Amino acid sequence: MIKLLIVDDSALMRRQLTLLFQAQGDFEIRQARDGAEAVAENRSFQPDVVTLDINMPQMDGITALSLIMAERPVPVVMVSSLTEKGALATFEALNLGAVDYVAKPGGTISLSIDTIQADLIAKVRGAVRSRPSKARTSSSSARGLGERLREQHAQAAQARASSASQSREGLVLIGVSTGGPRALEEVLPLLPADFPWPVLVAQHMPASFTAPFAARLDSVCALQVVEACRPMPVTPGTIYVGKGGADMVLAKRGSTLTVLPKPESSQHLWHPSVELLGRSALEHVNPQSLVAVLLTGMGNDGAAAFADIKKHGGKTVAESEETAVVFGMPAELIERGGASLVLPIDKIAAQLKAWALR
């Protein structure tokens, strides 16, 4: 049996979630009404996984999460509202050690559960098999570093332009899902202001979350980070985050390589689709110019396309099991023989720099 602690200040929500997981047949469930009760139940019940609401009286979910991870770390799936405020709180929770989140839509509770139940069950089961992480230190120091490095951005851009004819062309693709926001904050801020290649990121995420996430990354990265919410020419030294609720692909407009959002493909389970991004890159970019990185996440999104990138002369990196929150996606790439290198998360930025700046 999987021991599940459900934490929510709404009695109706707790009841609906309890009924949902009881119907699975392999969950032993307890409930908590606020953060203080959650901390106490984590100590006494010792759950295998926790669903944790963010907005609660007495003690909110962020405070409770920080205490839980300090006292008895356990996989936690946050239940977050589909708002910018909810998104920012969710990213803070992921930095504190939460494994994943479920975006709670508006409307009546019963209808909300209906729309998220499959996603919620999958993420709770995935969280049980995950590797909870210790809380990160405050991002304020990283943010200050980003601001200092940004002062060098204009000079670096000029340097890239003057040496463009001497630099080998390249394009970095990054695919990531569960545990991705935190993983990306481990990699992207370490790319220097003179990093010469564009970076395209397909992170499975709801539509209302990707703009705040891109803004958060922009504040800690030396490179400019933007949400690819409209057709944009691909330029060196820019990080493009695929818009949630859509797929991100590469296309040619005249002779200009362009990144653009398109409606979600019904042929793919996860969005923005890493597989579609990889396939479009193979169609429009010399494979030998591609570097494809597959980070933490459930499922196999992107593994087939990235394996083909390696097969046709590109370079690929799979995050190693020792650091991946969920090893599913990188494991699929490795099993297909599609990983040029298998690296822990803290070594990936250095490898990208070595390839790009040699």
Q: How far apart are CA 275 and CA 220, in angstroms?
A: 28
Q: Is the pLDDT of residue 146 over 60?
A: no
Range name among 96-110, 154-168, 233-247 with the lowest pLDDT average: 154-168
Structure tokens at 49: 């996984």
User: Which of these ranges, 104-113, 190-199, 334-343, has the smallest mean pLDDT?
Assistant: 104-113
User: 240-263 pLDDT, tens per residue?
Assistant: 999 999 999 999 999 999 999 999
Kind and range of the H or E run holding 148: helix 140-150
- The pLDDT score that the predictor gives to residue 154 is 54
Q: Which pLDDT band, with edges at 50, 70 and 90, does 162 fall under?
A: very low
Of 215, 277, 270, 218, which Cα lies nearest the Cα of 244?
270
What are the tens digits of pLDDT across the range 303-357? 999 999 999 999 999 999 999 999 999 999 999 999 999 999 999 999 999 999 8
Measured CA to CA in angstroms, residue 181 lies from 106, 178, 236 at distances of 23, 8, 22
Residue 148 pLDDT exceeds 80: no
Q: What is the pLDDT of residue 103?
A: 82
Residue 135, pLDDT above cutoff 70: no
Q: What is the pLDDT of residue 315?
A: 98
Is 176 within 8 Å of 201 (Cβ atoms)?
yes
- Residues making up the chain, counted from first to last: 358
Which residues belong to the active site? 177, 204, 301
